[in-house]
Structure 1
Amino acid sequence: MAAPRRRRRLRGPLASAALTWLLALSPGPAPAAAAAPALAPVPVCTADTGPYQWEMEQYLGLSADGRQSAADCEAVRAFQQREHLAPADGSANLATYRTTLVIEERRDPNRDGKCPVRAQRVVCVDLTRQLMWVQRGGTPVYRAVPVRTGRWGQRTREGWHEITERVIDETSELYDDAPMPYAQYFSGGQALHGVYGDLFNGGGSAGCINLRLADAEHLWNTTATGDPVFVWGRKPATD
């Protein structure tokens, strides 16, 4: 029977090398957990009472007293954020109120049948409600959006028209090279086009049908040269 083998102890330089190798393989102390980034505080909603405070309170189901409270401000701001309105500051301004009217009309904008139903696309412009949509066979293919039409003395022309020319990066020759992005001409110099800034600023256009920039771009991608445009009604304060 063979004698059991005795373990040999490492000594001298060989032992030191082995110890160094084992220490290199052993895991070091666990790294400290990274501190979570501090979240920016949400600014307190402090908008003043807007001109359409009572109407927005009614629309949002709030207690309607016409005075802006902190809860009212937060509710209006949340609505503005959902509808991509800027600035979303909680102020019950004209743009916010007009958006509630548009939302109510989106499901059936042509319920009164004033925009004629055709087999092809028709761009429908209601001057009275300051709305525009596109329908085919009575079915909306571009939902109702707010517009700004001609002011008193420069009214948008009513009746049947046709998109005759499209210029994606147009400027006005009559009004100091004013930008007219996504312009679609339908009656002489009158066109559907986008505007930079506030669509609801001022009493009206010089006859064109103004849209918010994103709406004008969407319309550009929906319509084409030759599409009919039907305009009816009367913009308020243009009699």
Structure 2
Amino acid sequence: MVAAAAVSLVSAGCPAAVAAPAAAPACPAPTGPYQREVEKYLGRPVDGRQSEDDCRAVRAFQVEHQVPRQDGYADLATYRTTVVAEATPRPNAAGRCPVRSYRVTCVDMDRQILWVQRSEKVVFGPVAIRTGRDAQETRPGWHAIYLRNRDQVSTLYDNAPMPYSQFFDGGQALHGHPGNLYDGGGSAGCVNLAVSDAAALWDLLDIDDSVYVWGVKPGTGR
């Protein structure tokens, strides 16, 4: 009788029990040093205090953009990734990089980003970079690539690898930086890129290509 009643109820249209959706995993990361900046970019309330919703939004951004840290903590790499994302539609919106009919590699030390443009068309980037630290700043102004070495190693800094080096001024080069692009206070004057970005830039540029550098790296005296 009990079994028959159960069948009768189902046939009468009584819904079967449905499992409740699994709760989203907790996001316990604390407030990060770039909390306000990341909140602003993500359209969150800008109060500089991590909430559960803030953490989930930051974590989703980190996963989408493959930031090294993906736990919702607003660290330097996350902030720098928001800068690149914000600049991507129009990196030269402020007109700081001169527009020419030929290729110009634009090195924006203010925002720590690099892109390549020909006329007004962006043909590479923007991507994150790391320029010279205090007292070893990357030299601003017009430059030109004068030497390229895919397998360069530093003769000054313990044979440190400098893959895909493209020298543009007095020993300063565009080159890949193996490991964490955001560690330390800056380079020794070169323009560091992620190795994958440096490889792509190597394939695009050539001897005598123009490089234009401007701005001030945050945290330096210039």
TM-score, normalising length from structure 2?
0.82
Q: Which residue among 183, 198, 210 is the counterpart of 2:192?
A: 210
Residue identity opposite 1:196 in structure 2: P
- Alignment match, 2:12: none
Does residue 197 in structure 1 map to residue 179 in structure 2? yes
- Alignment match, 1:114: 96
Alignment of 1:141-156 (within 5 A): 141-156=123-138
- Alignment match, 2:221: 238
CA contact (8 A) 2:77 2:182 kept: yes
CA contact (8 A) 2:146 2:207 kept: yes
How many residue pairs are counted as aligned between the two chains? 199
Residue identity opposite 1:45 in structure 2: C
Partners of 1:234 and 1:75 in 2: CA distance: 30
CA RMSD of aligned residues (A): 1.9
After TM superposition, give the deviation of residue 133 of structure 1 in Å: 0.6
Three-state SS of the structure 1 residue aligned to 2:151 is: strand
Q: Where does the alignment leave 5 or more consecutive residues of structure 2 unmatched?
A: 1-23
CA contact (8 A) 1:151 1:238 kept: no
Does residue 179 in structure 1 map to residue 179 in structure 2? no
Partners of 2:145 and 2:51 in 1: CA distance: 47
1:125-171 residue CA offsets vs partner (Å, 9 max, x unmatched): 12222221100012110121121111121111122211122222221
Alignment of 1:10-159 (within 5 A): 44-159=26-141
Residue identity opposite 1:178 in structure 2: A
Residue identity opposite 2:81 in structure 1: T
1:179-225 residue CA offsets vs partner (Å, 9 max, x unmatched): 11111111121100111222122211110001122221221122122
Partners of 1:187 and 1:66 in 2: CA distance: 41
Q: Which residue among 152, 157, 160 is the counterpart of 1:170?
A: 152
Three-state SS of the structure 2 residue aligned to 1:125 is: strand
Given the superposition, is the C-alpha separation of residues 45 and 168 from structure 1 closer, same or farther in structure 2, using an over 3 Å criterion? Answer: farther
Instruction: Return the index of the structure with the highest Cα Rg.
Output: 1
CA contact (8 A) 1:146 1:211 kept: yes
After TM superposition, give the deviation of residue 115 of structure 1 in Å: 1.6
Q: Where does the alignment leave 5 or more consecutive residues of structure 1 unmatched?
A: 1-41
- Alignment match, 1:227: 209
After TM superposition, give the deviation of residue 43 of structure 1 in Å: 6.4
Given the superposition, is the C-alpha separation of residues 70 and 206 from structure 1 closer, same or farther in structure 2, using an over 3 Å criterion? Answer: same
After TM superposition, give the deviation of residue 44 of structure 1 in Å: 4.2
